[in-house]
Structures are given as C-alpha cells and as structure tokens.
Amino acid sequence: MALMEQDREIVERYLKPPEDRILDDRLVQGIQLTRFWFGVSIAMLVEIPQSVAHDVALMNWLGNWLASGVVRLLAAPFLLLVTLPLIVAAFAFLLVPGADRRRVVGRLRGPAVAVGMFVAHWLLLVVTAIGPFLLGHYTNVLVGGVTFLAGIPLLLRAIGFVSMSVPCIARYMFRTMEIHQALPALLTVVLSWELLLMGELFPVRIVHDGYDSPLWLS
C-alpha cells in the first residue's frame, strides 16, 4: 500500500496541473472524468448496430466488446501523444491571436513534463521487463537473471506509474489545461473519433463473431 501511495504521489506530481490552474468544483471534476470515459465508450457503442445486423451471438459480441474496450483504454494515452502536438500547434497558430501566441507557447512546459514522464516510465517498463531476457540471451542466463532481480524495484515503479497514470491523463489530458482551458475538451472530441476509427479499421476479435469487417464495408 505504501508503494502504491508513492506511485500515486509521483503521478500527481508530474501529470496533475498546479492547484492554482485547477478549478476546484465537484461538478467540473465529474464532467472531466465523464468526458474521457464517454469518449472511450462511445467508440464501442457504435458497434451495437453492427452486431444486431449480423445476428452475432451475445456472448461472442460481449467478449470482443470487452477486449476492444481494454485495447482502446490502453491505446488512448498513446493516441493522445500523437494528437496532442498537432492539436496544440493548430490551436496556437490558427485560433490564438498573434499578440497572445507567445504567452500560450510559454505555457508548454507543464504538458511537456507530463508527456516526458509518461514516455520515460513506459521506456523504463520495457527496458526492465525485456532487457534482462535479451541480455541473458546474448550473454548467459545468470547475467540475465541477476539483472532482472536488480531491476525489480525499477520495474515495480514503472508498472505503478503507468497503471495509475491513465485516470490522471483521463482527467487532465497531459496538463493541457495549463495552455488553455478549452484544450482538454477539444482533445476528447478528437480522441473519440480516433478510437472509433481504430475500432473500425483494426477490430479486436478474440472470439469469432461472424463478421470481420465493419458494417459499412460489408
């Protein structure tokens, strides 16, 4: 429990905006979380007409629906990593008046720190989880085993940070509210479309449900 509490504190330190940038309102906080989860779920709800049209067995569809939800939830932060620079650049150079542009660009430090810490902990997770096995393969098993044991604290730290970062990202969208309060909502709209397209173009099928393509391609 102490380790989880430390992980939560680290996540909030880097992925949560300063208190003076956060509107302390329960309604707004609820909307922030609902906005993200609705964006994830709406991309899955559009599959219901497809399953009805193809007379898919309920349990088969439910299994694929749950698997698709997990994949999209894990993919959401990475889609944001790709989307965020594009949306911020478009917002700063197309929607912000020239006189205010320098001030907006000056607020990029917070989101940059959030993105950097998220990427760094994912890299740490990959290195500590896979690195020892590769090292053992190219040297010997003993070296790989010792390296893995030595890296367990770092591996646990990376797992804790990554697992607890999703709710924080869902609420604060990599601290983009530090740039402008409208950006988290704008990013949610774009993310919803990205998740929808991901499900349509790259459907998750752990159980054969009778169709392998979206309804509009059938």
Residue ranges of the chain with per-residue pLDDT less than 70: 1-2, 21-29, 31-33, 35-36, 39-40, 42-44, 46-61, 205-218
Which residues lie below 8 Å from residue 7, measured CB to CB, with a gap of 6+?
Answer: 157, 160, 161, 163, 164
Q: Name residue 3's amino acid.
A: L
| pTM (whole model) above 0.75 | yes
Q: What is d(CA 171, CA 191) in angstroms, rounded to the nearest whole number? A: 13
Q: What is the pLDDT of residue 141?
A: 86
Q: Name residue 207's amino acid.
A: V
- Residue pLDDT, tens place only, 182-211: 888 888 888 888 887 877 777 776 666 555
Closest CA to 89 of 78, 77, 110, 104: 104
φ, ψ for residue 175 (rounded to 5)?
60, 25
Please identify which residue in the block is written with the tokens 């988290």.
184
Q: What is the pLDDT of residue 140?
A: 84
Q: What is the pLDDT of residue 215?
A: 43
> Please, what's the b/e burial string for 41-69 (b: 16 or more CB within 10 A of its CB; e: otherwise)?
eebbeebeebbeeeebeeebbebbbeebb
User: Counting Cβ atoms within 10 Å, is residue 83 exposed (0-12), middle (13-18) or buried (19+)?
Assistant: middle
Q: What is d(CA 11, CA 164) in angstroms, rounded to the nearest whole number? A: 7
Q: What is the pLDDT of residue 216?
A: 41
Which residues lie below 8 Å from residue 1, measured CB to CB, with a gap of 6+?
Answer: none
Sign, Cα dihedral of 163, 186, 17, 102? positive
